[in-house]
Structure 1
Amino acid sequence: MPAVFTVVALVLAELGIFAEERYGVPDSLNFIYSGGETGARTLLGAVAGSAIGVAGTVFSITIAALSYAAGNMGPRLLDNFTRDRGNQVVLGTFIATFAFTLYSLRAVQGGEENPFVPHYNVTGAMLLALACIAALVYYLAHVTASINMTRVITLLRDDLQDSLEKATHQREDSQGKRQPPPENYWQNGEVLRAPRGGYLQLVDVEELIKLADREDVALRLHVKPGDYVFTNSVIVTAIPHLPDGVMDTLTLGRTRLQGQDLEYSVRQLTEVASRALSPGVNDPVTAIDVIDRFGDALCRLHDRSWPDGVHFSGDHLRLVRPVTTFGGLLDSMFHMIRQYGKGSPAVTIRMLEVLRSIAACMDDPARHAELRRHAEMIYADALENTPNDNDRADLKDRYEGVLNIVQRPASQ
């Protein structure tokens, strides 16, 4: 957006100069700047210097403040700052003002022969200077609000919910679902090894299925988006032969990306909670906020199911790929928080309360079993690190609350 603003500013500056050279300035436009060459140079130079000076100072200080805050909130804060449209508009306004005034300044000509003052452009520079003041006031208030921890957590929660919506689908009858072949089915298959290392960022599933269907083969993908692929490690097994072009459907990169990598959004929230529970920060309230967001996201899955990663074309197996399961999602959400927060009764009690609420939202026995597994780990770790009898009693009460739901028959 700053680049677009700059290009538009340069085009407007050229149009202003062209219009004045051809048509001049009508007497009816008495609000247009009417000063001379010296005043125009001074005004344009002051606006240009102020715009770029204020922008450089304000944004450099902001980056320093954000870098410090990102130590507690995680890298999502900096990513949000660069993607935020409001910040882009403000930066674009300052840079466009500098480009507009600098381009206009070169057109100012003095002397007795062919003097020229771009009155339209000088007036435009004055208006842009006022726009910069308004943008600066907005920016200071906007950045202050964007560093708020609750806002960052809410943004991460929204990213997680979007990823969950894309990764799951409305629950359907499980009857008729086809099972993947046994492990020994792939023993004599031809393998594809990774030509380089990196994170698996994207998988073109549809293209993989079309390729397997065209070559009449079955493919097994050993990694899922978000996994780190090591050089020369096996990433695909094919039966009966390995077709060409499989690597073209896989995207490897240096970093993990949001989208197909469901656990990436979870990890960012988990990092916020883990930093909050570190001894140097000691902010259990933030960790509890993250736990609440996890509970909200999981309760939205009450009528949704996970893909099984098995793809057929007619009666022919075409692709088997690993997918994130409900249990794996719980592990990503709660393992690190449990490990870092086991000595904080407020955090462990809230985790058990959230697990109880999640269990009450769902009726799937398999999911209840995963919730019970995590409740048992949380309760066991918390008992060892909670010496106060009243806190231990509260923990037991919340733990039994989870068990009362996960052990209840589905008909109840």
Structure 2
Amino acid sequence: MNKNDGDSIWTRTINAAQNRLKQFTKLWSIQTLTDLPDRLNNLWQWLIGSYWFIPTACVIVGILLAPLLVAIDQHFDRETVKEISFAFTGDDEAARAIMTAIAGAVLGVAGTTFSITIAVLSMASSQFGPRLLRNFLTDTPNQFVLGAFIGTFSYSLLVLKSIHKSDVAFGVPQLAVTFAIIMAIICALLLVYFVQHMVHAIQASHVIQNASNDAIANIYYWYNDRCDIQHQRDAEHHDIEQFQNWPAMPIYSPNSGYLQQIYLESLIALSQDYGGVVQMHVNLGNYVTDKNVIGYFYQRPESHPNNQQKTATPHLAVIPRAPDGLFWQRLAGCLRLEQRLAHSNDIAYSLGQMTEIAVRALSPGINDPKTAVNCVQSLTSCLSIMMRRQPPSPYHFHIPQSETNDSSENTIKQKRLAILALVTHIPKISDFINVSLGEIRRYAAADLMVLKALCQAMVNLNYARVNSAQQQTLLHELHLIQRAGEENLNYQELVDDLVAMCEQAKQFILDNDAQHKHFNYVSEFEADIRQALQTQSS
């Protein structure tokens, strides 16, 4: 390595530290305090997503416990310790031997645990996909087991340092050594638990279930279980149909990367301060390059009635102004862009994990259609929850402070003032079906088992549909499943079987009373067998 290489590494390290410092500064800026819970949640997700956080916390606990228990030992009655049956009462040589054995044993087991974890990560990356690695890295039991081993090692070293000869008063910290013995026994039990946990963690069904739980949690975050009547009244705002006719200025991406988070409250405050409406054309998980147009800022006309509304300061009106340098700086703080896809509240990312497992299971190297069918069933459960719940609204409003302080009685008598401030891009249920079940269909075009599972999925989703648009989406996907089988299945008998199931599913979905009936596909061969058995019995 020459001097220039060393300088470049040092420069990159300084630049990375400066970027982290800027992100931390944005976290506590005045304009972003409204989104502070979301920003703190992102910080917490980043911490637990790193493999060092919990083990480091355990090491710190061990470092703090060692001097604490030693100090307690110095003020504890020795005769009382001897009355405790399981307490250590040996001399300094025995204590030193025990602490040395514990420190060496737990450090060796920690190395073994780390090696097993690396082997599991390597296998998971090849079998389930690299995007599933985070689920293993953020597995709290794995981190806690490794942290318990390293924390016990740190604790044992510090206690070993405090053991003096027996001729010195309070030379053997008996309670501290007793606690170390207890921790060594716990570490032995944790090792057994770790092996059992890893055996279950690498099973495909367990990985799919974890990805499904993650997707359902994101669905509950975005989709409401009931309709917001007040928001629907706000959505009748006249600006919704008129704002696109206002003077517009394109919004460029501050840098390249994957859009991981949009801080809505900060964008609402920004658009209100500049007297306009921000419309975003990108969604979470989208990749944008530097200076891409990701939306538009529509500036309200000067004669617009909302510009005359008084703010918190009396006799002060909102004056529209063109975006300036401060506008772009604040906009960059409203968006979180990462160079790689990471955990967020993106529903498509969570569904994509199960889709990736299914696609890899259908590859010639793995050839595990049963796993793909399990992914289809889990995706069906997630999509059915989305279809039954209220989707998020793309319209976001600024509610003046005076309006939020009004009593409920005044709110009923007078319509609440809601100023349109932000319009986001919300994917439809058809988009989620296309990027999940549709992606599996494209890779399973020659597999009858998976195609029939996709056909059954359309029937199961029909039980959750709430409008005709969802019905048309299911019929369209059913048609694509049928075409995929007709063009790729090897035998005509297999094609006829799939076509028959698709036709029965189509008739079932078109039935207005289908949600109160049970769907059971009966092939032509099974129908002939049943008829023959009935003929013989009669």
Could you give the per-residue CA deviations for residues 334-362 of structure 1, whole angstroms, max 9, x where no partner exists?
A: 23211111110111111011112212331
Deviations 1:73-99 (Å, cap 9, x if unpaired)? 234653233333322332222112101
Q: Give the TM-score taking structure 1 as reference length.
A: 0.91
Select the residue among 367, 372, 375 that pairs with 2:475: 372
Q: 1:357 to 1:28 in 2, by over 3 A?
A: closer
Q: CA deviation at 1:373?
A: 1.6
Q: Does 1:207 align with 2:207?
A: no
Deviations 1:263-317 (A, max 9, x none): 1001111000000000000000000001011111222234323234133554754
> How far is 1:126 from its partner?
1.5
Alpha-carbon separation, structure 1, partners of 2:397 and 2:179? 63
After TM superposition, the structure 1 stretch with the greater mean CA deviation from structure 2, 19-28 or 48-57, is 19-28
Q: 1:8 is matched with which residue: 56, 61, 83? A: 61
CA-to-partner distance for each residue in 1:208-230, whole Å, 9 max, x for gaps? 22332333211111211111121
Query: Equivalent residue of 2:122, what SS?
Result: helix
Tell me the distance in 2 between the aligned counterparts of 1:28 and 1:283: 61
| Residues 388, 466 of structure 2: 8 Å contact kept | no
Separation in 2, partners of 1:27, 1:406: 77
Between 34-43 and 221-230, report the one with greater CA deviation: 34-43
Q: Which secondary structure does the structure 2 equivalent of 1:69 belong to?
A: helix
Gapped regions of structure 1 (runs ≥ 5): none
Q: Which amino acid aligns with 1:190?
A: M
Which structure 2 residues correspond to residues 9-408 of structure 1 after superposition, within 5 A? 9-23=62-76, 25-26=78-79, 29-30=82-83, 31=85, 32-75=87-130, 77-110=132-165, 116-170=171-225, 172=227, 178=236, 180-181=240-241, 185=245, 188-240=247-299, 241-242=322-323, 244=327, 245-312=330-397, 314=417, 316-408=419-511
Over 3 Å counting, the alpha-carbon distance change for 1:96 and 1:185 in structure 2 is same
Q: Which amino acid aligns with 1:339?
A: R
Report SS of the residue matched to 1:212: helix
Rounded to whole Å, the distance in 2 between the matches of 1:249 and 1:182 is 25
Shift of residue 183, structure 1, vs aligned partner: 9.8
Q: Percent identity, please.
A: 29
Residues 348-396 of structure 1 show CA distances to partners (whole Å, capped at 9, x for unaligned) of 1110111122123314111111112211112111111112233112211
Q: 1-side partners of 2:354 and 2:81: how far apart?
A: 61
C-alpha contact 2:357 2:372 (8 A) present in aligned 1: yes
Distance 1:143 1:230, change over 3 A: same
Separation of aligned partners in 2, 1:22 and 1:340: 71
Preserved contact between residue 258 and residue 287 of structure 2 (Cα < 8 Å): yes
Flag the 1:118–1:230 CA change in 2: closer, same or farther, 3 A: same
Query: Structure 2 length as normaliser, TM-score?
Result: 0.70
- SS across alignment from 1:219: strand
Q: Secondary structure at the match of 1:26?
A: helix
Contact 1:349 1:394 (8 Å CA) reproduced: no
1:239 Cα deviation from its structure 2 partner: 1.9
Name the SS of the counterpart of 1:169 in structure 2: coil
Q: Distance in 1 between matches of 2:69 and 2:442?
A: 64
**Counterparts of 2:422 and 2:436, CA distance in 1:** 28
> 2:387 touches 2:429 (CA, 8 Å); kept in 1?
no
- Amino acid in structure 1 at the alignment position of 2:497: D
Q: List gaps (5 residues or longer) in structure 2.
A: 1-53, 300-321, 399-416, 516-538
- The offset of 1:156, in angstroms, is 0.8
- Please state whether the residue corresponding to 1:29 is helix, strand or coil: helix
Q: Name whichever of 116-125 and 259-268 sits farther off.
A: 116-125
User: Which one is further off, 274-283 or 42-51?
Assistant: 42-51
